[in-house]
Structure 1
Amino acid sequence: MTATAESVDLARLAVAAAFEKLATSAVAIDVSDRLVLTDVFVVASGETARQVRAIVDAIDEAMHKAGTERLRREGYEGEAHWVLVDYGDVVVHVQQDEDREYYALERLWGDCPMIDVSDLDGER
């Protein structure tokens, strides 16, 4: 089974919102074959805690406008090294750059297909 079209659209929306706040990188991973709890992981990163929070806020706003509400959020307060936001079919991980390198979620989920979001990076 692959991620639903709606999940893919929401993931692309989240990635676009992350890039609008100058995320240093963002990817979407179809984890639907491996997990029953969600379809897609979005992984994005920013340079500082302030930027991580700005990226999370932009994604929250974009998802809300699309009619998808956040179910839970962890890691937003404090140092904001890794903020996890659960929207049900899409789970967003926003990490500071050094944490993203260390935890390497793309490598951990490397056997899952990537969703093409290369067109959303703009002219960066």
Structure 2
Amino acid sequence: MTQQEALETIVKALDSKRAEDIQVLHVEDLTILGDYFIIANGTSTTNTRTLADEVEYQMTQKGREPGHREGRGNGSNWVVLDYADIIVHIFYKETRDFYQLERLWADGEQVDISQWIKTENGAC
């Protein structure tokens, strides 16, 4: 699986479970943590966990397992899935507003994901 295919799989998995404000930041030149950060939020802690489960399921179907997971317990406000080159951050909305990772990594390049997100009428 190429890096581009992994990004698409993750974004589509998040979108399929109604993640809010999905953003992909290219941070390769800014940190050794990974090449991309994917940031999204759910509407509740249950939705946040569901989003993480769906990403993990879809990536496993494509043969990739996260090297590390954080925040998977009940009531989690922030789940992190580490795929080495892609770090997925899934927040509860208020937690995302508090930490503002997008502001912290504002020097990262915003990736256009519009081709992977369904519009209101269901088309990609």
The 5-angstrom pairing of residues 1-124 of structure 1 reads 6-124=2-120
TM-superposition CA deviations, 1:60-116 (whole Å, max 9, x none):
011112221111111110311000111111110000111111111111111110111
The number of residue pairs the alignment matches comes to 120
Looking at structure 1, the residues matched to 5 and 21 of structure 2 have their Cα atoms a distance apart, in angstroms, of 18
Q: TM-score, normalised by structure 1?
A: 0.89
What letter matches 1:36 in structure 2?
A: I
Q: TM-score, normalised by structure 2?
A: 0.89
The RMSD of aligned alpha carbons is 1.5
SS at match of 1:79: coil
Shift of 1:11: 1.9
* Identity across matched positions, percent: 31
SS at match of 2:56: helix
Looking at structure 2, the residues matched to 41 and 50 of structure 1 have their Cα atoms a distance apart, in angstroms, of 22
Q: Which runs of 4+ in 1 moved over 3 A?
A: none
Contact 1:46/1:95, CA 8 A, preserved across alignment = yes
